[in-house]
Amino acid sequence: MSEFLKLYLDQMLRMDVAQALRVKGHDAIRASEVGQARADDYEILQKAIIENRILLTLDEHFGDWVVLPLSKHPGVIRLKVNPTTSQNTIKLLLPFLRLHSSEQFKNHLVILSPKRAKWIHTI
């Protein structure tokens, strides 16, 4: 089901991750490329929502509704990789994205680790 996705990468994800996503055809933008290098989580999420992009993050706060409540959004993928290298991130992310469409991510937080993908409906 290979659909090209519109993705927004938070500041923690490096340029080589964005580049690997682009090579596979995804429309990937990093927060630091659009003036959000020092933006907080709320601002990052709002930018992803406005641009209708699935947010990719390593930040645990996106799983804590008290810190950052989620309402309607295009999707958030919280990556759990250890060690957190670009290579490990790409290895985890690319096969997962290939299996899903943008519609499946809407209003979902996906906590993605090498062992599982936990899908949480957020509204």
pLDDT at site 122? 85
DSSP code, position 61: G
Low-confidence residues of the chain: pLDDT under 50? 66-67
Strand partners, 22: none
pLDDT at site 66? 43
Q: What percent of the chain has pLDDT over 90?
A: 72
pLDDT at site 28? 98
pLDDT at site 70? 66
Ordered by where they begin, the domains of the chain are: 6-121 (3.40.50)
Strand partners, 78: 57, 111
| Residues in contact with 97: Cβ distance below 8 Å, sequence separation at least 6, in sequence order | 5, 21, 24, 26
Token reading at 92: 């985890």
DSSP code, position 105: H
The answer to whether the CB of 94 falls within 8 A of the CB of 24 is yes
pLDDT at site 67? 47
pLDDT at site 2? 65
pLDDT at site 87? 96
pLDDT at site 3? 83
